Structure 1
Amino acid sequence: MGFTTLVVIAIFMVLGNWASQASSRTLHDEVTVKNMHEQWAQKYGRTYADDAEKEKRFKIFRDNADFVEKFNNKGNRTYKLGIDNVFADLTSQEFLTYYTGFRPTHFPKSSAGTKSFRYANLTNVSDTVDWREQGAVNEIKNQRECGCCWAFSVVAAIEGITKIKTGKLVSLSEQQLVDCDKKNEGCNGGMMDTAFEYIKENGGISSEEDYPYQGRDGDCDSQKAREKTATISGYEDVTQNNEEDLRKAVNQQPVSVGIAVGDEFQFYESGVFTGGCGERMNHAVTLIGYGYSDEDGMKYWLVRNSWGTSWGESGYMKLQREAGQPEGLCGIASAASYPII
């Protein structure tokens, strides 16, 4: 056997060992991710109709886990993503379809109650605010697979100002807005200003206890809707594309805002979010404060979401404030309003 033949055999042996090891690593990774998926599904009570659906969801879960790992491994970020939330087996499109629902271009804009901004001349504005510390924020709620984020945003803002003005923190009914506000479209989306108008015209809104959340569209229960736990006299819009005026408003009360949600929102876990955002306004949340990061002093908005406590910082997000664009990061200063009592 010649020298050349020996070299060729040696090369094939090395390549064979490498391929075997690579195959072993791939098998191990696949098993590891399958175990992760099984544990995740058990934790969040996720079941599948059949093996085909389970395999489909596993592949999505695996892709999402890869996306999160690659993002976090890049480093030099002010925020982290995580796979441990209820959205881990959804595609980005499914997530955006089921869990957003702010439709600012779908409904005619009314000017009722929006001609003034009462906090324009406010000068004594705190450096930091967290309305949770004043007992003006209820526990995180979950809209589930219903695109009625607009209702949760409105309800949280009214719960906040009701506590500030009356001293009582009550849990109000999102379902009443989903069922009875016919100018909006329930789980198919809506606008906060339109919901404020409905509540004013209805003479108030019922409590969560009287009109509990179902997570789906339903017929308006007029008897339940007549039970008034909180009332408003109207609402006002914050000066558009003005984060300083938005800060003045949030200094005084929780504020409903629209934002442009993109892929990274699905797996936000912690830290000050600095982008990327969605291409259009599609989600509604409530601003309950603002402050500075302990790590680097970065300014942020304190966002209360309606995706349950598995998402973000137990249901909350810190989103960069004064990021350099007039509309704010993810358009947070472009569609903000608050209720008046």
Structure 2
Amino acid sequence: MEFINQMYSKCICLCLILIFGAWSSEATSRNLEDAAMYERYEQWMTRYGRQYSSMNEKETRFNVFKKNVAMIDSSNSDVNKPYKLSVNQFADLTTEEFKSQRTGFKGLRDTPRPTTSFKYENVSVVPSSLDWRTKGAVMPVKDQGQCGSCWAFATVGALEGALQLATGELVSMSEQELVDCDVGGENEGCMGGYPDVAFLYIIEKHGLTNEANYPYTATDNVCNTTEADSPSGSITGYEDVPVNSEQDLLKAVANQPVSVCIQAEGAFEYYSSGVLTGYCGTDLDHCVTAIGYGTTDEGIDYWLLKNSWGTEWGEEGYVRIQRNIEAVEGMCGIATSASYATV
């Protein structure tokens, strides 16, 4: 009996050793993984010049970073996806923080927008591909900074293109005038706005000044009426693209750059290259400028969009998203809120 008890005790001890050993091994593995991730985090901080006010904040940001990197790495491990993501400058932000700092479209209104005419309605033939950059109608990529002013950048991108096509001259126009001066109504500077309302402001003011006169600051300021009263380019009106029609959007983009609004979360936030496909919502929160379209060698139709997050994001500041999808709203809702200037 004593022998059996001794053997039983030895078995219990052996089991405990094995269990503790497994726990220890798992903990060591986790520690090694965290150490490698933390080193990656430190390298990322150095690259983007990130500094935090306390160790607690640094640890909090590390946990956000770790979660975002896991999503990015998981996506990139799928060889069937025709796009890649990157651990970019937004990797330490939560989705909520990112939206508040880097988007700015206030969303679709509860009541439908007033119907405008659509001058491209009867267009029947368009090029198979188009890039307005090659035709001199697109200014270099800009950066809205930590200000919810995407609506101003999308408006100005469409405006610059329309003016270039009408005059032959490409001039960088002022987003800051819209941020500072187109306020008091639906547009609220860094708190968000609507491109169509911005077009109305430009029409009523008989134009918009240029960026050299009224440079961008990424902050809400008192309107500089002196500069705002010195327009550099004017328009006669604007038109909305009919809702939920990628074909009508194609007709418009084939003729000029167009302001479009989308949902810019998840994979879009970390987009690096390729054609963004797959699930993307239609809860519109960000506006960009559609400057072209095409088809990849693999047969994927895409829209070419100019973003306002600087040249380190995406394909030097641009993104391609899938075109001609089954949903009428288009990828990320691109066909639900599009407009352009008329000159």
**TM superposition score normalised by structure 1:** 0.92
Q: Secondary structure at the match of 2:33?
A: helix
> For 1:1-341, what aligned pairs fall within 5 Å after superposition?
11-83=15-87, 85-105=88-108, 111=114, 115-182=116-183, 183=185, 184-294=187-297, 296-341=298-343
Q: Secondary structure at the match of 1:265?
A: helix
How far is 1:13 from its partner? 4.7
Answer yes or no: is the 8 Å Cα contact 2:37–2:66 preserved in 1.
yes
**TM superposition score normalised by structure 2:** 0.92
How far is 1:8 from its partner? 5.5
How far is 1:269 from its partner? 1.7
Answer yes or no: is the 8 Å Cα contact 1:107–1:191 preserved in 2.
no
CA distance in 1, matches of 2:281, 2:53: 32
The alignment yields a C-alpha RMSD, in angstroms, of: 2.1
Q: Secondary structure at the match of 2:133?
A: coil
Higher gyration radius (CA): 2
Q: Which runs of 4+ in 1 moved over 3 A?
A: 1-21, 104-111
How far is 1:14 from its partner? 4.5
CA distance in 2, matches of 1:137, 1:18: 60
- For this pair of structures, how many residues does the alignment match? 337
How far is 1:42 from its partner? 1.6
> In the TM superposition, what whole-angstrom CA distance separates every residue of 1:40-96 from its partner, at most 9, and x where no partner exists?
11211211111111111111111111121222234422222221x110000011111
Answer yes or no: is the 8 Å Cα contact 1:262–1:279 preserved in 2.
no
CA distance in 2, matches of 1:171, 1:46: 30
How far is 1:107 from its partner? 8.9
CA distance in 2, matches of 1:141, 1:48: 26
Answer yes or no: is the 8 Å Cα contact 1:263–1:278 preserved in 2.
no
Answer yes or no: is the 8 Å Cα contact 2:281–2:333 preserved in 1.
no
Answer yes or no: is the 8 Å Cα contact 1:204–1:228 preserved in 2.
yes
Gap runs ≥5 in structure 2: none
How far is 1:326 from its partner? 1.4
Letter in 1 for 2:121: A
Gap runs ≥5 in structure 1: none
